[in-house]
Each structure stands twice: as structure tokens, then as C-alpha cells.
Chains A and B, each alone.
Chain A
Amino acid sequence: MPASQTPPLSVDHVVKTYRSRGRDRVTAVDDVSFTIAPGAAVGLVGASGSGKSTLARLITGSERPTRGSIGFGDVRVERLRAGRLRRFHSQVQIVFQDPYGALNPLHTVAYTVMRPSQNFLGMSAADATRRMHELLETVGLTPAAQYAAKLPHQLSGGQRQRVVIARALACEPQLIVADEPVSMLDVSLRAGVLKLLARLREERGLSLLYITHDLLSARVVTDEILVLNQGKVVERGNTKDVLQHPQDTYTVQLLDAVANPYAAAGESTR
């Protein structure tokens, strides 16, 4: 799908507060605004509890903001109900952190990847099968026939995450929200999945919201980042600029937390 058909995402002064029994209110997301232009990749960066995953749930319509609005083209996400929310889910797909938990262990790869095309696009079984093969090839599970009949436990973590991505692509989404998609994978396998995300964006004109605490992967995948601390945006801008010239102390803290053998050796560039 060309980028011109992907609508922009706009998050406008969004606030989300939770109230737990007998305790004060917790503000998980505190007046956050940003946009993702068609085909752009934006990173949401922060440590645990910074509100990044809450934002993901708001953007995908799984939860509603306490205040503010979220627009995807003409759609007001926080107003969607039932049928229209379902239609919206075919345009926005999530890739979760845990590829081990995101796949039904009793379903084959073929079933998992075919269902969305049948459910959302109304494809026949034959068409969905053809499409499933294409998608598996797209995400680098080649030859597709070798993987189609497998169950999740027969795949490595990196292969499972590729299946999750293939499933997300099956209903032809325009925006992918990737919530820590590589943090549970071995370091050696991360580059492959990150390159896949970058390629899909280029080829399909997808927009990408990339959520992570890992600044290195954010650098590789995104053009622009927002650094979140306790629900607030503390820094934003071009990814490379922000990482090379961080202004906020929290960003510096996150940068220092990156395990970086080269920096430790005093060779910051290689």
C-alpha cells in the first residue's frame, strides 16, 4: 500500500489516569501530543513505568484516554465502538514484546497467519493460503512451505517474532505499533527483526510506532523519538540529534544504561 493512502496519526493532549482502590490517582500518561506522518517511524522511549505501553493501548483503542483525543486520519480513535473499532483494528496492528506468549501454542503457523486475512479481508481459504505463503516469504521465513505446518514450540524466538509480524501484516494495516518487539530476543537475532521492520516500512509505506527502552534499536528503526518519563514527554526530536546531544538528564541516564562495549573501551565510534 503506497504511503499516500496511510493517514497520519495525531495524538493530541492525551491524559490517562488510573485510580486504584483506596489510593491516589496515578497519571500514567500526562498531556502527551505528537503526530506520525504517513510512512514515518516514531520511537517512544523510556524505562518501566514511563507510560509508553499505556500510550500504545490508547492508540490501538484498547483503552480510552481520560482527556485528549487520538486521530487516525478522519477517525477519532477514542470514540470508536464495536464494529468500527473492529474495522480500525484491521488498520492498526500491534507486535508485542513476548513472541512466546503472543502465539497460540495449539495453532500452526499457517492458521495463525491466515486468520486475519479471512476475518478482516473476507478472503477465501485458497486466497488466504496464497497470501500466507507470500507473507511468510516477506518476513524471511523461507521456504514458506517448510514453516506453514509448524507449531510455535518448533520455532526459535526470532522465528516466532517473524510469525507475529506476518500475522500483523495479514490484514494490510497502515500503522504498526511495535511494543519492545526485540527485547526478549537474543542480541544476535535482534538485527534481523529490526531490519525486517525497516524494510516493511519502506516497501509498504507503513507508519511505525516503535516502543522501547533500548536506544540502540530506536536509533536503527526510527526517524524521530520522544523520551517519556513518568508519563511526560521530556525530550523529542530527530533520533540522531537527540541521542548525540541529549538535553534532559533522564535521556542521559537511559543512554548510560545501554550496554555498550565500545563506549566502555573509549572508542565511541567504530
Chain B
Amino acid sequence: MALLDARGVNVGYEPARGQRIWSVRDVDVTLEQGEFVGLVGESGCGKTTLGFALTRMLRPPARLEGGEIRFDGVDISGLDGEQLRAQRRNGFALVLQSGMNALNPVRTVERHFGDIMRAHARPGEDVSRAQIRRRGAELLDSVQLDADVLSRFAHELSGGMRQRVSIALVLSLDPRLIVFDEPTTALDVIVQGAVMQTIKDLQRKKGFTAVLISHDLGVVLDATDRVMVMYAGRIVEDQPSAELLRGPHHPYTEGLLSSYADPRADEVELGGIPGAPPDLSLPQAGCSFAPRCPLVEPICHDADPPLTLLGAGSAACHVRASEVVAHAR
């Protein structure tokens, strides 16, 4: 059984004034035990909103509107209060982009471990100071930090160290699923690589299921087994990472890939995608990518393409799907 199985997830933002924005539209996600999956797309495509929905971290004005999210067989989409909190231990967790700024500036790192471990302690569990120090040191070690970080305050740590601390705090609950939302975007370029390496090593060693949300397809392809590409609130392609790199099926993914090149190559040509994503407060007719798509055909403006089996995974594109049909004939 899959660790997480979400069906028909919709998330709307309802501002106090103005139109409701459908940020995630009818999305299905399946995560197998121990899988490392990437979720990629441009700003505003709904990838962070989907990550928050899957870990039940959405706050108003965002609202989960329908859909079912089964985590280890239990539908968590309707859980509330204490029931939801109980699932956080050994359940699902989120590492934020600005996680390094989430540390309380007037409390030491040890106090953070103490707070989180006591808040989620099981009955009779040892949460003495000695135990918190022991476990804190162990978790810091797993993210390559020395035990003396326990007595430090946030301002005494670099951005990379703070992000490592926030990962260690999440690990203290032994989550089975961790969603990393742009965990390295705010860090210096060289530090980024090192923190990503730590995340990859941790995932391999501990075997938790991971989702890496990023706008950077390069980072995602390097770390993950499978990539889901999101555009305008929908998943438009879902392929094993190696397959996606060899030949993406959706023209949007092709555009994303063409934005990369090796700076060492003899000739470097950067592609890119003209135009901008659609306004999600307006009803979407047809394929949302059609206005920017180089392959666009009349049908693309009429019907929203469903995800269909293409390559080793699936993609939502009328043109590419019909090519496959034509080829099969």
C-alpha cells in the first residue's frame, strides 16, 4: 500500500475581497514508501500549496476543498485539533524555505528540541533534560552539526546551520513523510549544494518518504527518483527522473529543461518559455499552457487534457497523446 494516496485535491484561496483563486486543481498524488519525489514548477503554480495541503499545514485564506488524502490508510483530510496533532509524531512533516528564520531568537537550540519533544511525547516517555540533550546531539550529528550547537542561539549560527537545525527538529518526530519546501533556495550557492547532499544522505539512510518542492529542475533531477511537474494548479507530467531528463513529454517540461545548459559546453544556448502563467482567479478553458505552447492546436483551447500514460509515466498533453496514438496505428 502506498504511504500517501491523495485523490482529487483542490485548494482555493478565498481573499476577503475579490475572486477566489484555485491554486491546486483536482490533483492526485501517490507516494510509495521510501520514495524521493520532486515537485517542480514556476512561482504561483501551486506547488507549495499542494505541499502544505498534503501535510495539512494550510491556513486561511487557503482552504482544502474536497478530495481525500490517505496517509497510511487513514484519511487525514478531515482531521482536526488533537487527532491531527497525534498524526505528527511518526507521521508527516514539513521543512520550510524560511525554516532557518523559524527559530526563536531568544531560546537556545536545546530549548527548541525540548519544546517539540515534550509537546509530542508519548505517555511515560522519557523527556528529561538529559534525554533531550542526548537525542538532540544525536539528531544534530545526523545533519552534520556538532553537539555544542545545542547551547547556541539562532544568531550565532549561519543560514546553512540554521536550516540544518530546522531539519533536525523535524527529524525529532521520526516522520515517515517529509515535505521539503525549497529547503535551500535562501542559502548561498555553495552551502546549497552541501545542505542538499545532507538531505539526500538522510533520506537514503533513514528511508523516510520525501517530497522536494523546488522551482529548480536541476536540483530536483539531481536528488529525486521521480518528478511531478506542476503548471497552473495541475500536475502536467509525472515521470521517473532519468526518463524525464532523457525526453520530457509535456512541452512545458521541455521548456523548463531548455533553461538549463552546462556552462562548460562549447556552445551554450538557453531556451526558456515566453509569456507568463495564467490568472487562476479566472475560469480555465482548455489546456492552461496553450497560450505559451509551441505545439498548440485547436483542441488545446477547448478541452483540458487529462493525465494519460506516456513514456514511463504520464503527461497531460493533447498533442503528445495523439502522437502516441498515431504511432501505435
Residues of A within 8 A of B (CB): 47-49, 156-159, 186-192, 194-195, 213-216, 218-220, 240, 243-244, 253-265, 268-270
Q: Known A220-B268, A260-B260, A260-B262; judge A265-B242 contact (CB<8 A).
A: yes
Q: Specify the chain A residue showing the minimal Cβ separation from B269.
A: A220
In the complex with contacts A269-B265, A270-B262, A261-B274 CB distance below 8 A? no
Give me 17 A-to-B residue pairs in the complex whose CB atoms sit less than 8 angstroms apart, sorted by A's number.
Answer: A156-B276, A186-B215, A188-B255, A188-B273, A191-B258, A216-B262, A255-B264, A258-B218, A258-B263, A259-B222, A260-B218, A260-B262, A260-B263, A264-B221, A264-B245, A268-B265, A269-B262
Cα distance A216–B259 in the bound complex, in angstroms: 10
Q: For B261, B262, B266, B276, which residue has the most chain A Cβ atoms within 10 angstroms?
A: B262
B192 surroundings in chain A (CB, below 8 A): 257
CB-CB nearest 5 A-B residue pairs: A259-B218, A191-B272, A191-B270, A48-B188, A188-B273
Indicate if the CB atoms of A244 and B188 lie closer than 8 Å.
no
Complex CA–CA separation, A256 to B196 (angstroms): 13
Determine whether the beta carbon of A190 is less than 8 Å from that of B270.
yes
Residues B276 and A158 in contact, CB atoms below 8 Å apart: yes
> Are A188 and B259 in contact, with the CB atoms below 8 A?
yes
Q: Which residues of B contact A259 (CB under 8 A)?
A: 216-219, 222, 260
Whether the pair B261, A262 counts as a contact (CB closer than 8 A) is yes
| Count of inter-chain pairs, beta carbons less than 8 A | 112
Is the C-beta of B326 less than 8 angstroms from some C-beta in chain A? no
B315 within 8 A of A: no
B138 at the interface (CB under 8 A from A): no
A270 partner, pick from B189, B259, B261, beta carbons under 8 A: B261
A33 → B minimal CB distance (Å): 25
Chain A residues with CB below 8 A from B207, complex form: none
Cβ of B245: which chain A residues have Cβ within 8 Å of it? 261-262, 264-265
A residues less than 8 Å from B246 (CB atoms): 265
Is the pair A257, B193 in contact by a Cβ cutoff of 8 Å?
yes
- CB-CB under 8 A from A269, the residues of chain B are 262, 265-266
Q: Are B263 and A219 in contact (CB under 8 A)?
A: yes
Is A191 a contact of B193 with CB atoms below 8 Å? no
Per the bound structure, the CA–CA distance linking A219 and B265 in Å amounts to 10
CB under 8 Å from chain A, chain B span 239-288: 242, 245-246, 255-266, 268, 270-274, 276
Q: Are A262 and B271 in contact (CB under 8 A)?
A: no
In the complex, B43 has a CB within 8 A of chain A:
yes
Q: When the two chains form their complex, are residues B260 and A216 in contact, meaning their CB atoms are under 8 A apart?
A: yes
Shortest C-beta distance, A254 to chain B (Å), equals: 7
Q: Decide: B262 and A186 in contact? CB cutoff 8 A.
A: no
Q: Which B residues are in CB contact (< 8 Å) with A262?
A: 245, 260-262
Instruction: Determine how close the nearest CB of chain A comes to the CB of B124; give it in whole angstroms.
Output: 46
CA A215 – CA B217 in complex, angstroms?
A: 17
Contact with A along B190-210 (1 / 0, CB 8 A): 101100000000000000000
| A268 lies within 8 A of B189 (CB) | no
Q: Considering the chains assembled together, what is the distance between the CA atoms of A194 and B263 in angstroms?
A: 14
A191's closest neighbor in chain B, by CB?
B272
Contact of B259 (CB < 8 Å), options: A47, A159, A190, A254 = A190
**Which residues of chain B come closer than 8 Å to A215, judged between CB atoms?**
263
Asked whether, in the complex, the Cβ of A216 is within 8 Å of the Cβ of B190, the reply is no
Q: Which residues on B sit within 8 Å (CB–CB) of A263?
A: 262, 264
CA distance A140 to B276 in the complex (A): 13
Q: Which residues of B contact A192 (CB under 8 A)?
A: 272, 274
Q: Within the complex, what minimum Cβ distance (angstroms) separates A40 from chain B?
A: 18
- B56 CB → nearest A CB, Å: 28
Task: Kindly state the separation between the CA atoms of A196 and B42 in the bound complex, as whole angstroms.
Answer: 21
Contact of B264 among A189, A243, A253 (CB under 8 A): A243
